[in-house]
Every structure is written in C-alpha cells, then in structure tokens.
Amino acid sequence: MLLLLLYSPSTVNIFRMGAAVEIKKGSYKLGEMAATREAYGKALLEVGALDSDVVVLDADLSGSTQTKHFAKAFPDRFFNMGIAENNMMGVAAGLARAGKKPFASSFAMFAAGRAWEFVRNSIAHNHLVVRVCATHAGLTVGEDGASHQIIEDIALMRAIPEMQVLVPADAQEAYQMIYASLDFTKPTYIRLGRAKVPVLFDENYNFEVGKANILTKGNNVTVIACGVMVYRAVEAAKILKEKGISVEVINCASIKPLDVETISKSVAKTKKLITVEEHNVMAGMGDAIASALLENNISGFKFKRMGVQDKFGQSGQALEVLDHYGLAVSDIVLEAEKMNK
C-alpha cells in the first residue's frame, strides 16, 4: 500500500529489493530535433545530483559523448581515462565492485569494439553493473566515415551472457533509460546516436526494459525498428497508409531482453515482417527477432532484414549516408509494397 502512495501519473516507480528509482520524464516536444546523446548528457547530470554513487568515465570524448555536463558539475566523480578504453572498462568494473554506479562512455566503436573483451571479462563475467553508454553508433556518425561507423556493436554486445542491450529511438526514451539504469541489476549496453532525430515520445511514454511498444497499429505488415530508424519507420507507415497498406510499427528499444510476446502477436497477425536497423544485418536486431519468432513457433511469415548489407560505411551527412545504404523512408515503403503485392 505504501508503494502505491508513491505512484503518481507523471512518474513510474520501479521497486526492486526495497530500492526505488523514480523515472523522470524528459521535457521534449513531439517532433523536436534532438540527439539521444544530448538526452544522455542531460539525464546523467540529473542522476548525478540524485545519487552520489553515480560515477562517470570517459575516454577523451566527454565533449562529444555529452558527459562533459556531469564532469563540470561533479569533477570528483568524473574520471577522464584518456584515450584508453580497455583500462576504462576495467576501472569501471572496479568502481562497480566498490559499490559505485558507473557509466562508461566513449564512441561505440571503441566502447563496444576496442574494449569488447574488457566489457566481457572485467564487467559481464564479474556480474558487475556497469552502464556502457556508447555514443556515435552506426552510420549516422556521418562525416567521420567507416572507421568510426560501428555497425557491429549490437551483435557484439548481445552475444555477451546476461548483457542487456538497449537502443533508444529518441531523446525522451534515452532520457528515461538513464534514470531507469540506476536500478539495473545487470550490465547494460546503451547505444546512443550523434545525429539529431525527431522526438517521437512525450511525457506519457514509459520506458521499460524488455518491452517493445507499438507506435502505429496495423494489419498488413509489421515494421520493427530501433534507434534512429524508428522515426523513418513511422514516416514510411504514414506514406503506406495513403497507399492502402496498414503498417504496425514497433519500437524495439530493448533488444536484449527482447519483448517476444508483443513481437510475436504482431507478426502472427500480419504474417509479414520488416526489421530496420542502422547496423549490419548480420547478427543484429533483425536476426535476434527472427530467431525469437521461430523459437516461439511463429513461422510462415515473409521477412526482410533492412540494415547495412554486410558492407562498410563511408563519409557523408548522417541522413544522406543512411539513405545511401538503403535505409531511406522510401526504401522502407518499397519493401512494404513488395511484400504486399
């Protein structure tokens, strides 16, 4: 009963072993352009004030990852580890062992790529709750080009036992995710982006680990997307609606654990599935979803994985690079039309 009293409509309380973290909602307007990394920086500053156990590590990219705001406010709890990501992850594990709540940030290429084995052995194998908050993930790092465009991180991170893998679709979701992460009991990879994308969720949205959310209801085809591709899936659905194709768009922010129930129900209904991610189609979200569906006895559906088709990226403006690699709104429309012929 006491717990119920703490509930208010504008907040969601998660209770675990007596600990409660109030997930605050971001003040974003629908359609406003914001990068998920910006929401991360904002939320990090706030949870830093909320919880003195929060510590942040960065590898000389605090200006880019947005940990700079926390660094300025809480210099004692901020560790700039220099350009040395392996040590950063090892130190983050040690800080967690000492009872701290570490957030370790770098570009996704270095956090998930360079430091993979440290995330695996120092953090995950030690069952230490470190939040690896990796920014500049995927093609939308843009101008930096292929060396920085990691399209393998979802695959790398979901392969680690017990590691949670989360990809927020917009600033609101990223913001709530950071609050929620204070209460996590498992190491977690949070994939954040550099590019500004439209805000899709208002303060009525409730992020929850393991839950996918249906953005538009539809009967003809299911489109499941994560990260920056979610707004494009929504755009595509609007166009398809005018063409008489009803699309069920699902935001799959929680890639691991996966919301098999929501996804299964939708695909069982539409019998057509398109997955869209700014990641290599190899071992990404699409593969995770397809495997889960088949294991859940959902079969006989048409299936297309949209993503990077096993190629390296290249320089260009974020959104134009996405377009080039077959991830334009029009590409989603085309695939859905093909499936519905």
Q: What is the binding site for other proteins (CB under 8 A)? A: 55, 76-77, 79, 81-82, 84, 86-87, 89-100, 117-118, 121-122, 125-127
Q: Which of 37/100 has CB closer to other proteins?
A: 100
Task: Tell me how far, at minimum, the Cβ of 15 lies from other proteins, in Å.
Answer: 24
Task: Tell me how far, at minimum, the Cβ of 133 lies from other proteins, in Å.
Answer: 17
CA distances from 233 to 36, 44, 215, 222, 336 (A): 17, 29, 10, 10, 11
Residue linked to tokens 């839950």: 211
Which segments of the chain are extended strands (E)?
12-16, 19-23, 33-34, 54-58, 78-80, 101-107, 131-135, 164-166, 188-191, 197-198, 213-216, 221-225, 247-251, 254-256, 272-280, 302-308
d(CA 35, CA 32): 10
Backbone phi, psi, residue 139, to 5° = -65, -30
Task: Tell me how far, at minimum, the Cβ of 81 lies from other proteins, in Å.
Answer: 6
Task: Tell me how far, at minimum, the Cβ of 73 lies from other proteins, in Å.
Answer: 15
Q: Which of 128/223 has CB closer to other proteins?
A: 128
Q: Which of 127/324 has CB closer to other proteins?
A: 127
Kindly name the residue from 85, 173, 248, 278 that is annotated as catalytic: 85
**Is 85 an active-site residue?**
yes
d(CA 124, CA 148): 24
Q: Which of 99/300 has CB closer to other proteins?
A: 99
Q: What is the side-by-side order of every strand in the sheet holding 247-251? A: 213-216, 247-251, 221-225, 272-280, 302-308
Residues annotated as part of the active site = 85
